[in-house]
Structure 1
Amino acid sequence: MTALTRPAPPFSRRRWQLAPGLVFTSLVLVLMGGGLLALILRADSGPSELWQSPYLQGVIRFTAWQASLSVIGSLLIAIPIARALVRQPDLPGRAGLLRLMEMSLVMPTIVAVSGLVAVYGRRGWLAEVTEWAGGSLPWNLYGISGILLAHIFFNAPLAARVMVQTLERVPVSQRRAASQLGLGSWQLWRVLDWPALRPVMPGLAALVFSLCFTSFAIVVTLGGGPGATTIEVAIYQALRFEFDFNRAALLAFVQLLICGGLWWLVFRKNRHQAVLPDQSSSTDTGSLRADSAGWRRTTDRALIGLFALFLALPVLAIALRGVPWLARELTNPRLALWDATFRSLAIALPAGLLAVAITLALLAATSALKPGLPRSLASVSGYLPLIVPPIVLGTGLFLLIQPRLGIQGYGLTVVALINSLMALPFTLQVLRGPFQAMGTPALRVADQLDIRGWYRWRWLQWPRLKRPLALALGYGITLSLGDFGVIALFGSPAQPTLPMLLHQQLGSYQVAAATGTACWLLIFIAALFTLLSRPGRVASRSAMRDTGVTHTGVPHA
């Protein structure tokens, strides 16, 4: 036995690791399987309705069309932005821009939509400037143009952030050799940038496509009519307004087949690279590129400035219009904003805690199980929410528990449970690396001293995981706070959460109240995420340096 291997502890010693992980794995699989089974049993008309209904065919075509255009637009913008950020590591404000790009993951879509309306809408800033110049806006925000703009606003920074991390992991030796050879920008793209980006592009494109394909709040707010209806909106309309459960189940099953088939193709090609931004990765800017000076420096900074303006303008519009309303109305104890805030927290806190608990159990079970089917199920179950969209899972559970939805608080409990499942891919991304980076010598000593159970957690794992846990909890809570799709399906308009209240205000043209609510939700989420992510970010970077673990949690060779 070599010094680097550690004998597997006996089953009695691993029982405390296996039991919670197997329980939560079973819970995830049962919920997913139960929801899908309900869809299959309810979709009794089969595919015949799809061939006979021009409306359903149009919905599916439009959903795939707008998602494809959004992927193309997001990636075409993300690639030059990522290369410019990598070429200019000393750019003033670069760290703040990267943080703003990371916030696109936790920014509620309904909040961003209100900001985009304030800037690009009929009464927005751009319309005022165009009118002052004697012209008019050549396009309408409501419809396919507004949907594409909102999707690019969310997904271009997400894709660029992943690409920046990928390009920064190009070995320093290769960058120095390219610099010494004086390679130009196009040559660097061919020999350095594209070979680094090519492995992650299928997964990244699949992620952006899935996010746009399953978009709900953006389409329901900016769709502009039946001609711009996606599958998610059609499912919502079938359940909430038409009570056509068969059509909802059929559409949800079609959406599952498309999203699941796409991810199956990605994973079938063995593309296991991470496609989510990793808060713990350190930035290596020690080697300048040959194409980072001269006129390229000027164009890079101009491009980055325009992109930063594109991201900051909606946020600035929300702040300028919302802060005066908040300063005037927050002292009102009967303000609906207070009830919505407490209701949102009542859902988000349990959802975040449950997501972290499930993540820890899955990681513990994965590390304790031997290679085989149980280990594969425990490892894959946390990423199933990327394949099973929330509206699909929500539709299945809606059909299962429909008679009990009238019970007080039952619907909100289901919302918290679904939100916790939807946060699993993000919490797993944060905790997998630090969990697997646990020092092997320390684990070996703990095994020899028979330290297990609570004492193993208290003295060995908790000191190393408490800060990454704070970051994972921040993801779980903030993603649940900004949820609108699931709460629209299970919630009550008389008892709205903050996103639902904002949607109601936008729908009733309460512009001042809507911007105030959006500003409050944005400040609340940004403060909470910053508070929880800051210590986790510092600790995870330290752990990465000490253990030599990559962003995917795989040790360096």
Structure 2
Amino acid sequence: MPAIIRPAPPFSHRNWQLAPGLVFSGLILLLMGSGLLALILRTESGPAELWQSPYLQGVIRFTAWQATLSVLGSLLIAVPVARALVRNPGFPGRSALLRLMELSLVMPTIVAVSGLVAVYGRNGWLADAAEWAGGSLPWNLYGITGILLAHIFFNAPLAARVMVQTLERIPVNQRRAASQLGLGSWQLWRVLDWPALRPVLPGLAALVFSLCFTSFAIVVTLGGGPGATTIEVAIYQALRFEFDFNRAALLACVQLLICGGLWWLVFRGNRHQTVLPDQSSSADTASPRADSAGWRRITDRVLIGLFTLFLALPVLAIALRGIPWLAGELANPRLALWGATLRSLAIALPAGFLAVAITLTLLAATNVLKPGLPRSLASVSGYLPLIVPPIVLGTGLFLLIQPRLGIQGYGLLVVSLINSLMALPFTLQVLRGPFQASGTSTLRVADQLDIRGWYRWRWLQWPRLKRPTALALGYGITLSMGDFGVIALFGSPAQPTLPMLLHQQLGSYQVAAATGTACWLLVIIAAIFILLSRPGRLPHRTPATHTGVTQTGVPHA
């Protein structure tokens, strides 16, 4: 007797997926709208103050200038490095270098700054080497030089990682045809590489520009004076030291207009821009190219070696200089380090869990909704933090809830909330591919067999999402652990988190203590990822995917 297939009742199995996602999407829009409205209402002088204040004009010019230089430097380094890595898939240590490049996604900015100071600073390794050779360093790390160096350190590997994946997606038949025709390096660039990179570059340049334009920890630590003040630093100074809420709101609106306008132009030209790395292509299976032999291979190896040193030296300096101090600190524990650790975890853990919960509900609603305005809002709301910088949202909320900031723990709660929102683009990138890996036919059969609710989640979706959910949680927690901009706005210097404590140590030239704190922060981040990767491992009997989409969707940290 044939089985009776019952048609699924309309929307009965979808309400539980729709409601949380729509609620969270509405709350995100409401929160950001409230913060932006608070900014607009507190902007009393209007644009006239911008034209009348040489200081504000200088701040805006310097912010745009250093971000533009950072974009050019990062992309000019990323392009040859990416091509060298693609030309040399069998390069020894290539996988380790790719993992090191991905550290820019999770390494706290203030930690990297401490490593750069330990290598390039006045008392750094290069200064010691120059003094031993009878000379001195030809640069001063504090100022535009240090800002550009730190921005390139963070963004060049991120850009190169995206470019490597883009170049590896070039169809095999095109690469084989180019090899048979014996095309040289310049011809391969013109025929294969440039056409592949051209659609990606606008979104990648916009991402790097936004990250450098909204940079806070790097500028406030390495700026070196009023001449190297960016909009974010000026907002912080206006709120925390000058209590000039009108100026802070005006600068926040300017920053929002510039960043929002830039992203509007990018997505207007291409709505499917790739701005964050993923793992839809394997980094270790690309075949050698026609231009990877002879002298080209030698120059590629030299370039990759120099780039590896550029990335590895600050991390190595943190480890070598920080471990002795950290060993003494752990042997004789003081309240400062342990108190900062507990405060950082108290902020980061809720932020990570909330970011993952919001991400799952948004993806569930997006998959169920039909094309239209509700689906667009649910899909776009998770990526709004790329457009609305955290300092802008933090400034609006600061003005909105200012009378309540004296309540114990209220500021930390706001910091945790903002950090969870800022992690959404990354957690969405991690979970989107695995969440959509269940084929349409599989879901249709589940509907026909009346597999719904908890059973649908437990047997169909959770096996695919277990490992990427753990990775997304790791991203959410570690990104919040390394936050300095929002905590500087809402936190108290007397009760610092680890990034704030590290900034205080760098500001008072306690290089050994700063590298020790940075090393401790890196140890915690590594421990979080190791801890989350163990329960997140998929059993061997669980199939990977049916659509060619990898488990994680972004590179492993």
TM-score by length of 2: 0.95
1:232 alignment counterpart: 232
Change in CA separation of 1:543 and 1:174 when aligned onto 2, cut-off 3 Å: farther
Change in CA separation of 1:263 and 1:533 when aligned onto 2, cut-off 3 Å: farther
AA in 1 matched with 2:15: R
Give the Cα separation in 2 of the matches to 1:535 and 1:192: 42
Give the Cα separation in 2 of the matches to 1:103 and 1:533: 16
> Per-residue displacement from partner, 1:178-219 (whole Å, max 9, x unpaired)?
111111111110111111111110000000000000000000
Q: What aligned pairs does 1:507-526 form with structure 2 within 5 A after superposition?
A: 507-526=507-526
Matched, 1:494 2:494: yes
1:293 alignment counterpart: 293
Shift of 1:534: 7.9
Say if 2:363 and 2:432, in contact at 8 Å, map to a contact too. yes
1:164 alignment counterpart: 164
Q: What aligned pairs does 1:65-80 form with structure 2 within 5 A after superposition?
A: 65-80=65-80
Aligned-residue CA RMSD (Å): 2.0
Q: What aligned pairs does 1:108-507 form with structure 2 within 5 A after superposition?
A: 108-279=108-279, 281-283=281-283, 285-507=285-507
Matched, 1:26 2:20: no
SS in 1 for 2:111: helix
Give the Cα separation in 1 of the matches to 2:170 and 2:262: 28
AA in 1 matched with 2:104: S
Change in CA separation of 1:213 and 1:111 when aligned onto 2, cut-off 3 Å: same
SS in 2 for 1:393: helix
Give the Cα separation in 2 of the matches to 1:23 and 1:99: 37
Change in CA separation of 1:286 and 1:489 when aligned onto 2, cut-off 3 Å: closer
Number of positions where the alignment pairs a residue of Structure 1 with one of Structure 2: 547
1:58 alignment counterpart: 58
> Per-residue displacement from partner, 1:380-400 (whole Å, max 9, x unpaired)?
000000000000000000011
1:3 alignment counterpart: none
Give the Cα separation in 2 of the matches to 1:538 and 1:118: 40
Say if 1:279 and 1:537, in contact at 8 Å, map to a contact too. no
Give the Cα separation in 1 of the matches to 2:133 and 2:335: 40
AA in 1 matched with 2:135: G
Give the Cα separation in 2 of the matches to 1:271 and 1:158: 21
Say if 1:352 and 1:476, in contact at 8 Å, map to a contact too. yes
Shift of 1:89: 0.6
Once the two structures are aligned, what percentage of the paired residues are identical?
88
AA in 2 matched with 1:497: T
Say if 2:280 and 2:550, in contact at 8 Å, map to a contact too. no
> Per-residue displacement from partner, 1:470-509 (whole Å, max 9, x unpaired)?
1111110110000000000011111111000101111122
AA in 1 matched with 2:442: A
SS in 2 for 1:268: helix
> Per-residue displacement from partner, 1:385-425 (whole Å, max 9, x unpaired)?
00000000000000111011111111001001000000000
Shift of 1:536: 6.5
AA in 2 matched with 1:19: A
Shift of 1:288: 1.6
SS in 2 for 1:547: coil
SS in 1 for 2:14: helix
Say if 1:74 and 1:152, in contact at 8 Å, map to a contact too. yes
Say if 1:112 and 1:315, in contact at 8 Å, map to a contact too. yes
Change in CA separation of 1:192 and 1:9 when aligned onto 2, cut-off 3 Å: farther
Say if 2:434 and 2:551, in contact at 8 Å, map to a contact too. no
Say if 2:426 and 2:475, in contact at 8 Å, map to a contact too. yes
Say if 1:280 and 1:551, in contact at 8 Å, map to a contact too. no
1:4 alignment counterpart: none
Shift of 1:459: 1.8
Give the Cα separation in 1 of the matches to 2:162 and 2:445: 37
Give the Cα separation in 1 of the matches to 2:214 and 2:485: 10
Give the Cα separation in 1 of the matches to 2:211 and 2:534: 26
Change in CA separation of 1:169 and 1:537 when aligned onto 2, cut-off 3 Å: farther
AA in 1 matched with 2:182: G
Shift of 1:527: 3.2
Say if 1:356 and 1:469, in contact at 8 Å, map to a contact too. yes
Say if 2:280 and 2:549, in contact at 8 Å, map to a contact too. no
Gaps of 5+ in 1: 1-6
Give the Cα separation in 1 of the matches to 2:45 and 2:268: 31
Give the Cα separation in 2 of the matches to 1:539 and 1:169: 29
SS in 2 for 1:126: helix
AA in 1 matched with 2:192: L
2:38 alignment counterpart: 38
Change in CA separation of 1:538 and 1:141 when aligned onto 2, cut-off 3 Å: farther
Say if 1:278 and 1:551, in contact at 8 Å, map to a contact too. no
Matched, 1:548 2:548: yes
Say if 2:438 and 2:546, in contact at 8 Å, map to a contact too. no
Say if 1:43 and 1:246, in contact at 8 Å, map to a contact too. yes
Change in CA separation of 1:183 and 1:280 when aligned onto 2, cut-off 3 Å: closer
Give the Cα separation in 2 of the matches to 1:48 and 1:355: 39
Shift of 1:515: 1.1
Say if 1:468 and 1:539, in contact at 8 Å, map to a contact too. no
Change in CA separation of 1:184 and 1:532 when aligned onto 2, cut-off 3 Å: farther
Shift of 1:272: 1.4
Shift of 1:283: 2.9
Greater shift, 389-398 or 283-292, is seen at: 283-292
TM-score by length of 1: 0.95
Give the Cα separation in 2 of the matches to 1:277 and 1:336: 37
Give the Cα separation in 1 of the matches to 2:219 and 2:255: 16
Greater shift, 544-553 or 503-512, is seen at: 544-553
Shift of 1:353: 0.5
AA in 1 matched with 2:510: Q
Shift of 1:331: 2.4
Change in CA separation of 1:189 and 1:552 when aligned onto 2, cut-off 3 Å: farther
Change in CA separation of 1:177 and 1:530 when aligned onto 2, cut-off 3 Å: farther
Give the Cα separation in 2 of the matches to 1:349 and 1:539: 26
AA in 2 matched with 1:414: V
2:4 alignment counterpart: none
Greater shift, 147-156 or 293-302, is seen at: 293-302
Change in CA separation of 1:248 and 1:9 when aligned onto 2, cut-off 3 Å: farther
SS in 2 for 1:546: coil
Say if 1:223 and 1:229, in contact at 8 Å, map to a contact too. yes
> Per-residue displacement from partner, 1:5-24 (whole Å, max 9, x unpaired)?
xx996222210011000110
